[in-house]
Amino acid sequence: MASAHWSCLILALLSGLSQQLESFLEEKVHDIEVYSTKISCKVTSRFAHNVVTTKAVNQANASKEVSFDVELPKTAFITNFTLTIDGVTYPGNVKEKEVAKKQYEKAVSQGKTAGLVKASGRKLEKFTVSVNVAAGSKVTFELTYEELLKRHKGKYEMYLKVQPKQLVKDFEIEADIFEPQGISMLNAEASFITNDVLGSALTKSFSGKKGHVSFKPNLDQQRSCPVCTDSLLDGDFIITYDVNRVSPANVQVVNGYFVHFFAPEGLPMVPKNVVFVIDVSGSMSGRKLQQTKDALLKILEDIKETDYLNFILFSGGVTTWKDNLVQATPENIEEARTFVRGIEAAGMTNINDGLLRGISMLNKAREENTVPERSTSIVIMLTDGDANTGESNPSKIQENVRNAINGKFPLYNLGFGKYLNHNFLESMALENNGFARRIYEDSDANLQLQGFYEEVAYPLLTDVEVEYPQNAILDLTKNTYQHFYDGSEIVVAGRLVDEDMNNFKADVKGHGAINDLTFTEEVDMKEMEKALQEQDYIFGNYIERLWAYLTIEQLLDKRKNARGDEKENLTAQALDLSLKYHFVTPLTSMVVTKPEDFENQMDIADKPGEGGHGDDPLHGLPDGQLPPSCCTLLLCGWGPPLHHPSPRERRCHLLQH
Ligand SMILES: *[C@@H]1O[C@H](CO)[C@@H](O)[C@H](O)[C@H]1NC(C)=O
Ligand SMILES: *[C@@H]1O[C@H](CO)[C@@H](O)[C@H](O)[C@H]1NC(C)=O
Ligand SMILES: *[C@@H]1O[C@H](CO)[C@@H](O)[C@H](O)[C@H]1NC(C)=O
């Protein structure tokens, strides 16, 4: 069938694989004219509400498939999708995943599958929908997603992928930012073009609480060369900003929900005792090891003299630079450089012994008072594979590590490349107050490693606790944090028991480098109302949605290490909230009933399943690269499927034909 062929072509092109298909498609592209693409972003107090609208018309004489794809941040939740054809709107509904899946399976078994919605790059996930549009008809796609922008290294960052694939008459990105604390800096840049070339297409400004960014290239500005018909717009559009911090904290209350932002500035750094536990198994040799060494050498340049450190190398066995942690004196740093330069890789992967050695070294230093009393400890583990010697049962390793750390300091796990069990690394880091990060195998891996280190390099407070009046607050999100790092932000949200309360007091307590500190924030509700009166600018219930977003995110994280009844309870809570607030989370799906066939035809917007992206074969691959074990596929198939596909198979596109 013609439409099936067309749909395959679009997918092939998306994956950037086939030059031949691409040139063939270029001729066909005129059939479907995308005449408008708008990305509208409203940000209120770091909570972003983004709407992507694309309008297209089928110029061909026959009905054609029109495809809409948007890449959105992995940390975002889709909240709405609608399809409008010739004035008739088909809405998307958020349903429990199992319910949605059943409908999807049914459609598949009847040979009526249309797109599924998954594939991902480093920071983004792809949402794809295709629909058949009659000759001469118009179609509008509208996707909404929401996200809490997190502060890293002193700024909030909003990532927009721009890839219209053709010249678009009416193309625009527009962002309105409202921050009650006042905006201190705002920047916008595009990876595909220098700002001066498209100077007039880009405007940005901020003053007081409001910021505005608009990017509106006309057709000529979109051309890749003056006579070209292909688009220059292909890459990332990134907006960054920060807010004023006259006071270390800021509390906002709307409709009975509050959010509390905490990011004090100018505190002295708490000295840290850091142990780098580095995988030097055979698979690390070559570029990965060189990049790791480059990153470590750079980190050594920045390390403060008050810090203590050591390197633990593991392959089949464990070797260490020093027997104990040593202070980062210039002489020791020089010696550390020589050590790092000499690291070589060979052998198996003994994660268990490597980690336990590092942890026991930190414990010993503390017991024997060989590190400063007011210092804090951190373990950073880097590996590129699964444990395959010594204790290699993941749950046993987790148990050993959990018992050894015993809640005393955070563990950060860096997974290098894609041949590893990310779920395991994530789960282990989360239960030890840290997080896991993927390091993508690419030319900039050393920068990714350094970038991660900078986020945790400057602890300003430890054992941070955010306290509210007893009995005044319900449904509080996480309010204790082991570390507060410079350039980040602690966000706590909750619900007031009594909406008519006149004022309340919030305390943040923590241990600083010199003494213990308490930051008190008095919240006067009358003042608050006045401050938030710019109602046309902000979307009304943003704090409630922010609260729901944060709560779901934390429930899903907690769920990763829960079992039995507790897991069921966490799942039930997260599911209830996802359904109530229309969030597409790993527990829900967006189901769109398409007009071609009311009974069966639907698209599903999914988020990758359990534990991040561990089971997604496309995850972590550079755009357009196939995983080694890919798979038969369905996205292209309108005909009866040959067999019942597994979820894994559905994720992959058959591109090898
Ligand atoms: C579409 O129809 C017009 C007029 O009926 C005709 O001139 C044109 O060749 C047709 N195009 C195609 C691709 O069939
Ligand atoms: C989804 O978007 C449509 C079109 O903008 C709108 O009419 C509808 O109310 C939205 N649904 C939700 C749940 O926000
Ligand atoms: C989960 O557990 C909490 C406390 O243990 C309880 O209050 C709540 O009702 C439970 N929720 C569900 C959905 O089972």
DSSP letters of 350-418? -HHHHHHHHHHHHHHHHHTT-S-TT-EEEEEEEESS---SSS--HHHHHHHHHHHHTTSS-EEEEEESS
Tokens matching residue 478: 């996480």
Which range is least confidently modeled, 101-110, 579-588, 632-641? 632-641
pLDDT at 491: 98
Locate the ligand 3 atom nearest the alpha carbon of residue 570 and give its number. Answer: 1
Alpha-carbon span 261 to 466, nearest angstrom: 10
What is the average pLDDT value for the chain, to the nearest integer? 83
Q: Is the pLDDT of residue 481 over 60?
A: yes
Characterize the bridge pairing of strands 32-44 and 170-178.
Answer: parallel
CA distances (Å), origin 446, targets 142, 286, 468: 38, 13, 42
- Out of 3.40.630.30, 2.40.110.20, 1.10.260.40, 3.40.50.410, select the CATH number for domain 272-457: 3.40.50.410
Q: In the prediction, which pLDDT does 66 show?
A: 86
Cα of 80 to ligand 2 centre, how many Å? 6
pLDDT value of residue 537: 54
Which of 80, 83, 581, 592 has most ligand 2 atoms within 8 Å of its beta carbon, as the pocket-test mutant? 80
Residue nearest to atom 3 of ligand 3 (CA): 569
Q: 128 pLDDT band (50/70/90 cuts)?
A: confident
Instruction: Please give the residue that has the higher pLDDT: either 168 or 637.
Output: 168
C-alpha 136 – ligand 1 centre gap (Å): 12
Q: pLDDT tens-digit profile of 605-618? A: 666 543 333 333 33
Specify the DSSP class assigned to residue 621.
Answer: P
In testing the pocket of ligand 3, which one of 573, 577, 578 has its CB within 8 Å of the most ligand atoms?
573
Nearest ligand to the CA of 27 is 1
Tokens coding 220: 């000529």
Hey, what CATH topology would domain 249-267+461-580 get?
A: Immunoglobulin-like (2.60.40)
- Binning pLDDT at 50, 70 and 90, where does residue 649 land? very low
C-alpha of residue 583 to centroid of ligand 2, in Å: 13
Across residues 81-93, what is the average pLDDT? 88
Query: What gap in Å lies between CA 248 and CA 261, rounded to an integer?
Result: 8
- Is the model's pLDDT at 30 over the cut of 70? no
Q: What is the dihedral of CA 592, 593, 596, 599, to 10 degrees?
A: 150
Pocket of ligand 3 (CB under 6 A): 569, 572-573
Tell me how far the alpha carbon of residue 541 lies from the centroid of ligand 2, in angstroms: 15
Ligand 2 atom with the smallest distance to the CA of 80 is 1
Q: Which ligand 3 atom sits closest to the C-alpha of 576?
A: 13
Tell me the two tokens of residue 126. Answer: 């792809």
SS (H, E, C) 218-280: CHHHHECCCCCCCECCCEEEEEEEEECCCCCEEEEEECCEEEEEECCCCCCCCCEEEEEEEEC
Tell me which residue has tokens 């991902």. 120
Q: Return the ligand number nearest the Cα of 59.
A: 1
The answer to whether the CB of 80 is under 6 A from ligand 2 is yes
Q: Write out the two tokens for 311.
A: 């390197």
Range with the largest mean pLDDT of 190-199, 231-240, 349-358: 349-358
pLDDT digits (tens, 9 = 90+) for 456-476: 999 999 999 999 998 899 999
pLDDT given for residue 534 in this prediction: 64
Alpha helices in 172-222 (DSSP H): 219-222
**One-letter amino acid of 598:** F
The per-residue pLDDT for 374 is 94
Measure the CA–CA gap between 271 and 308, rounded to whole angstroms. 8
Report the pLDDT value the prediction gives residue 158, as an integer from 0 to 100: 96
Kindly identify the ligand whose nearest atom is closest to the C-alpha of 93. Answer: 2
For residue 13, pLDDT over 90 is answered with: no
| Residue 134 in tokens | 């009659």
Tell me if 442 sits within 8 A of 498, measured CB to CB.
no
Least confident of 39-43, 83-87, 214-218, 621-625: 621-625
Distance 474 CA to ligand 1 centre (A): 65
From the CA of 142, how far away is ligand 2's center (Å)?
9
Distance 91 CA to ligand 2 centre (A): 7
Least confident of 37-46, 218-227, 302-311, 640-649: 640-649
List the helix and strand counts (H, then E) for the chain: 14, 31
Determine the distance separating the centroid of ligand 3 and the alpha carbon of 568, expressed in angstroms: 9
Per-residue pLDDT averaged across 57-80, rounded?
A: 89
Closest residue CA from atom 3 of ligand 2: 82
Would 249-267+461-580 and 272-457 be classified into the same CATH topology? no
Question: Which pLDDT score is estimated for 554?
Answer: 96
Is the CB of residue 594 less than 8 Å from the CB of residue 629?
A: no
pLDDT digits (tens, 9 = 90+) for 539-567: 668 899 999 999 999 999 999 999 999 99
Helix (H) or strand (E) holding 8: helix 2-14
Work out the average pLDDT over 354-371.
Answer: 97
Place of tokens 């059939």: 31
Distance 474 CA to ligand 3 centre (A): 14
Of all atoms in ligand 2, which is nearest to the CA of residue 51? 5
CB contact at 8 A, 542 and 45 = yes
The verdict on the CB of residue 582 being under 6 Å from ligand 2 is yes
Residue 216 CA to residue 173 CA, distance in Å, equals 7
Nearest atom in ligand 3 to 568's CA: 14
**The pLDDT of residue 645 is above 80:** no
Give the mutation target among 53, 81, 82 for probing the ligand 2 site: most ligand atoms within 8 A of CB. Answer: 82
Ligand nearest to the CA of 581: 2
Q: Are 234 and 163 in contact (CB under 8 A)?
A: yes
Classify residue 248 as exposed, middle or buried by CB count within 10 Å of its CB (0-12, 13-18, 19+): middle
Mean pLDDT for 572-582 is 95
Percent of the chain surpassing pLDDT 70: 81
Rounded Cα gap, residues 36 and 545, in angstroms: 29
Average pLDDT for 482-503: 93
Question: What pTM does this model have?
Answer: 0.84
Which residue's C-alpha comes closest to atom 12 of ligand 3? 569
Protein residue with its CA nearest to atom 7 in ligand 3: 569
Ligand nearest to the CA of 570: 3
How many A from CA of 63 to the centre of ligand 1? Answer: 13
* Higher local confidence (pLDDT), 26 or 414: 414
- Does ligand 2 lie within 6 Å of residue 146's CB atom? no
Closest ligand 2 atom, residue 92 Cα: 1
| Triad 291, 489, 610: Cα angle to 5° | 65
How far is it, in rounded angstroms, from Cα 607 to Cα 78? 9
Q: Which of 302, 290, 424, 310 is nearest to 360 (CA)?
A: 310
Name the strands in the sheet holding 503-511, side by side, starting at the edge strand that comes first in the sequence: 480-485, 459-467, 503-511, 516-524
Phi, psi of 456, deg, nearest 5: -110, 10
Pocket test for ligand 3, best of 568, 569, 576 (most atoms within 8 A of CB): 569
Q: Kindly report the number of other CB atoms within 10 A of residue 246's CB atom.
A: 9
Q: How confident is the model at residue 627 (pLDDT cuts 50, 70, 90)?
A: very low
Residue 569 CA, ligand 3 centroid: distance in Å: 6
How many angstroms does the Cα of residue 139 sit away from the middle of ligand 1? 21
SS3 109: helix
Domain locations in the chain? 249-267+461-580, 272-457
Cα-based distances in Å from 429 to 9, 111, 452, 561 = 41, 43, 14, 10
